[in-house]
Structure 1
Amino acid sequence: MTLMANPVISGNDVFSHVFIGAADVAQSTAFYDAALGALGIKNLGPFGSGWVLYGRDKPAFIIARPGNGEAPSSNGATIGFAAASPAEVDAFHAAGLAAGGADEGKPGPRGHLPGAYAAYLRDPAGNKVTAYAFV
Structure 2
Amino acid sequence: MIAHISFAVSDFERSKAFYRAVLAPLGYKVEMELTPETTGSVSVAGFGDGTTKYGDFYLASAPPGTKANTPMHVAFWAKSPAQVDAFYKAALESGGKDNGPPGPRQEYGPDDYVAFVLDPDGHRLEVWYMKPA
Q: SS in structure 1 opposite 2:85?
A: helix
| In structure 2, C-alpha distance between the alignment counterparts of 1:126 and 1:72, rounded to whole Å | 10
TM-score, normalised via structure 1 length: 0.83
Runs of 4+ in 1 over 2 A off after TM superposition: 66-69
The amino acid that maps onto 1:47 is L
Out of 49, 55, 69, the residue aligned to residue 66 of structure 2 is 69
Out of 9, 30, 44, the residue aligned to residue 43 of structure 1 is 30
Match of 2:13 in 1: 26
CA RMSD of aligned residues (A): 1.3
1:81 aligns with 2:68: no
Quote the offset at 1:83 in angstroms: 0.3
Quote the offset at 1:45 in angstroms: 3.4
Query: Could you list the runs of 5+ residues in structure 2 that have no partner in the other structure?
Result: 37-42
Out of 102, 108, 111, the residue aligned to residue 113 of structure 1 is 108
Match of 1:7 in 2: none
Out of 48, 52, 64, the residue aligned to residue 55 of structure 1 is 48
Q: SS in structure 1 opposite 2:120?
A: coil
Quote the offset at 1:72 in angstroms: 3.7
Given the superposition, is the C-alpha separation of residues 28 and 106 from structure 1 closer, same or farther in structure 2, using an over 3 Å criterion? same
Given the superposition, is the C-alpha separation of residues 73 and 101 from structure 1 closer, same or farther in structure 2, using an over 3 Å criterion? farther
- Alignment coverage as a number of residue pairs: 120
TM-score, normalised via structure 2 length: 0.84
Match of 2:40 in 1: none
Pick the structure with more helix per residue: 2
Match of 1:16 in 2: 3
The amino acid that maps onto 1:43 is V
Question: What do residues 11-51 of structure 1 show as CA deviations (whole Å, max 9, x unaligned)?
Answer: xxx21210011000111111100100111111113124210
Query: What percentage of residue pairs aligned between the two structures are identical?
Result: 32
Query: Could you list the runs of 5+ residues in structure 1 that have no partner in the other structure?
Result: 1-13
Quote the offset at 1:69 in angstroms: 2.6
Match of 1:6 in 2: none
Match of 2:122 in 1: 126
